[in-house]
Amino acid sequence: MKNCLLICVAVLGLAVGVPASAQYMWIDVNGDGMCTSDDALSAGTTSVDIWLSTNMNLDTSEAFCPTGQELTMNSYTFILRSSGGVTYGAWSDLQGFGTNLYPGNTIAGNDRWIGRGSGSQLPAGTYKLGSQAITVTGSPQLEIVSSTSATNQAFTSFGSLCPGALGTNTMKLGTDWFDVCGTAAPTSVTETTWGKIKALYGN
């Protein structure tokens, strides 16, 4: 009887508070719909695309909702953080999500927070959420982060029929999923052909 109770408690412990098996959000610079080493910012970059897969992980394995609901999407929020050298312009939504989620469209230092929502659920899948206009100076990097010091009400997430670990139907980065991909490190000038010539013969 004691062993049975221990087993039951263990099973209940596994069943409660289990996060969804990841999702994946990424930044695409060159328009190929992927996040690779080719996605580096340069002075010629005028916008970046933000993608979300609600039902696929970074390694392309299937993501799932532990309680069995579909990983739909009716809202998205995300925080972009630059290493400097990025000025943020307008966000262009591509999902028809007309509601700005508070405190949406916030810019604070190197952080940019966007939140958009809709009354309709989109089926589980991969979506190009939209495009963020930017002006690039220098050779910065851009990443997707889970929180910002600008406000504790901003986070990276998507709304879903899946209740999530907190039971709020909001799948949060850092709680329910963890897979993100930002822009690649810029190529140092000394690694280019011209950079090597300059290093060999001086200025």
Predicted local distance difference test score (pLDDT) of residue 152: 86
Partner residues linked to 179 by β-bridges: 24
Alpha helix stretches (DSSP H) within the chain = 2-15, 193-201
Radius of gyration of the chain (CA): 20
Please give the backbone phi and psi of residue 55, each rounded to the nearest 5 degrees, phi first.
-130, 20
Model confidence at 106, pLDDT cuts 50, 70, 90, reads confident
Predicted local distance difference test score (pLDDT) of residue 15: 33
Q: Position of tokens 């002075």?
A: 43
| CB-CB neighbours of 139 under 10 Å | 17
Q: What residues contact 194, with CB distance under 8 A and at least 6 apart? A: none
Q: What domains can be seen in the chain, in order of their start residue?
A: 23-198 (2.60.40.680)
Q: For residue 75, what is the DSSP state?
A: E
Compute the average pLDDT of residues 63-88: 96
Model confidence at 5, pLDDT cuts 50, 70, 90, reads very low
pLDDT over 90, % of the chain: 75
Q: Single out the residue of 46, 37, 70, 56 nearest to residue 126, CA to CA.
A: 56
d(CA 157, CA 168): 11
What digits encode the pLDDT tens for the residues 134-165?
A: 999 999 999 999 999 888 889 999 999 999 99
What digits encode the pLDDT tens for the residues 30-44?
A: 999 999 999 999 999
